[in-house]
Amino acid sequence: MTDLNKEPEQIQNPEPCLVKVQLFEGPLDLLLHLIKKNEVDIYDIPIAKITEQYIEYLELMKVLNLQFAGEYLVIAAELSLVKSKMLLPKPVMEEEEEDPRAELVRRLIEYQIYKDAATDLIGKDVLGRDVFKREYIETSAEHGEEVELVPVDLWALIEAFREFYQRRSYLWAEEITYEAESVTIDEKIEYVLELLKTKQQFKFEELFNDCSSRLDLVITFLALLELARTDNVDVVQDSPDSPILIAYSGENQIGSF
Amino acid sequence: MDLSDTKKAIESIIFISDQPVTVDKLTLAFPDIDRSQIRKCLKELVSDWEELNRGFFLAEIAGGFQFRTDPKHSEDISNYNKKIKKFRLSRAALEVIAIIAYKQPVTRVEIESIRGVDSSGVINVLLERRVIEIKGRKEVIGKPFLYGTTTEFMEIFGLKSLNDLPTLKELDEISQNLEPSITPIADE
């Protein structure tokens, strides 16, 4: 089920859309809204009334043809359960029984705490909105000759790969793939050389643009190591903090594989 | 090099840097100068710029130092440079950032149980934008990823360190905000 909480970014749209402003971030958000709207005490929620309004709202969403997430139904079910517990005559118990609403209240308050924290954060002087800093200006690609490039040592390269690999790792967090055809190092070497023919020089990370799996990534990296070892490519950077660049070494050994 | 020269050198390094300059990095650049002296220079620079009251100031950000513009001029700057990427984050993204910032390291399931909705899409967007990162895996069934905030996060929100996060509101304060401003309508 698609949901209305779906992030605009998620629909591969870098510009957040404004249409959803009035919508709720989720069932808890909706509940908090209803509690505020009705001006009731959060520790003494009139559960029947709030449940009724909550379900009305879901109906409205249906009428408006908005799809809503299953999570909304989960909370609706929870509300109904709490409501029924409230209606049941309390059995005479020795111990004081907990208010059936307590768990829900606890969750609502916790959510409100983080909603407030989010408001506090965005109320700060935000970089790129209120304050600005020096922008990174890329010079190495344009003025390659003027900049003294230093070779990157093997460990720095491996470290760069490790960092990159970790950063990408969420991509295959739930990846289950069947590798029908596996890529070979030779194929990747050709791919890298092909890239160099058209670009002469590119950033380390660009090398992995087309990689779809972990294996692909590792093999591409191995191909790079092989090319560097045989002096087909230069792996360089301007300074220890700047991006690693892969450049064609000029030594025409292409085809020796 | 006397200390006032060092101070100027440090100032120029910060001036050209696009990332906060840390004391650690400065000690590498000035191996002969004592760490405490470098700190002293930095402290003086911060107050110098504050006294000068110019269009930008030296701020302590993410464990380092960075020149930033005065918030007063944000509009003029955006008008001048249309290419500047406007900062944008959805409400959902902000909620997720807040939860991660205060509860890190935290798993997706923990985030979702607070928000009550699926948050995987938002998390991926934030990873992509490097506001958050994977800090490791939790030693429970399924070994889920643990998320935490990055240096970029502190840069975006202008934090010196994670201790600089605004304190979470206390329970009482929250329920006060939620409390009825007028007498509750009698129900049932």
Alpha-carbon Rg for chain A in angstroms: 29
Cα(A227)–Cα(A190) distance, integer angstroms = 10
Cα(B91)–Cα(B123) distance, integer angstroms = 13
Which of B92, B155, B182 is the closest to A5 by Cβ?
Answer: B92
CA distances from residue A192 to A82, A181, A220, A233 in whole angstroms, order as listed: 62, 19, 8, 9
For residue A124, give the 3-state DSSP assignment: coil
Residue B149: beta bridge partners? B132
> Tokens for A138?
């890329």
Using one digit for the tens of pLDDT, what is the confidence trace for A107-117? 999 999 999 99
In 3D, which of B133, B31, B19 has the Cα closest to residue B67? B19
Rounded to two decimals, the pTM is 0.65
> CATH for B3-71?
1.10.10.10
* Nearest residue on chain B to A28, alpha-carbon basis: B116
Q: Please give the DSSP secondary-structure letter assigned to residue A212.
A: -
Architecture of domain B91-175 in this structure: Orthogonal Bundle (1.10)
Whether the CB of B115 is below 8 Å from some CB of chain A: the reply is: yes
Contact yes or no for B69 and A133 at CB 8 A: yes
**Over 70: is that where the pLDDT of A21 sits?**
no
Architecture of domain A150-248 in this structure: Orthogonal Bundle (1.10)
**Over 50: is that where the pLDDT of A103 sits?**
yes
Domains B3-71 and B91-175 are alike in CATH topology: yes
CA distance B139 to chain A (A): 16
Residue B154 near residue A39, CB atoms below 8 Å: no
Residues of B in contact with A122 (CB under 8 A): 89, 94
Domain ranges across chain B: 3-71, 91-175
> Tokens for B177?
């905000």
Amino acid at A11: I
Peptide bond into B105 cis (omega under 30): yes
Please, which residues have CB within 8 angstroms of residue A54's CB and are 6 or more apart in sequence? A30, A31, A34, A75, A76, A79
The mean pLDDT value of chain A amounts to: 75
Output the CA angle B172-B173-B175, nearest 5 degrees: 65
The predicted structure's pLDDT at residue A6: 46
Model confidence band, residue A144 (pLDDT cutoffs 50, 70, 90):
very low
**Over 50: is that where the pLDDT of A15 sits?**
no
Domain ranges across chain A: 8-122, 150-248
Contact yes or no for B92 and A25 at CB 8 A: yes
Q: What is the pLDDT along chain B (188 residues), one digit of tens a residue?
A: 678 899 999 999 999 998 899 999 999 999 999 999 999 999 999 999 999 999 999 999 999 999 999 999 988 888 887 766 677 888 899 999 999 999 999 999 999 999 998 899 899 989 988 899 999 999 999 899 999 999 999 999 999 999 999 888 766 666 555 544 433 333 33
Whether the CB of B74 is below 8 Å from some CB of chain A: the reply is: yes
Q: Please give the DSSP secondary-structure letter assigned to residue A183.
A: -
Using one digit for the tens of pLDDT, what is the confidence trace for B73-98? 988 888 887 766 677 888 899 999 99
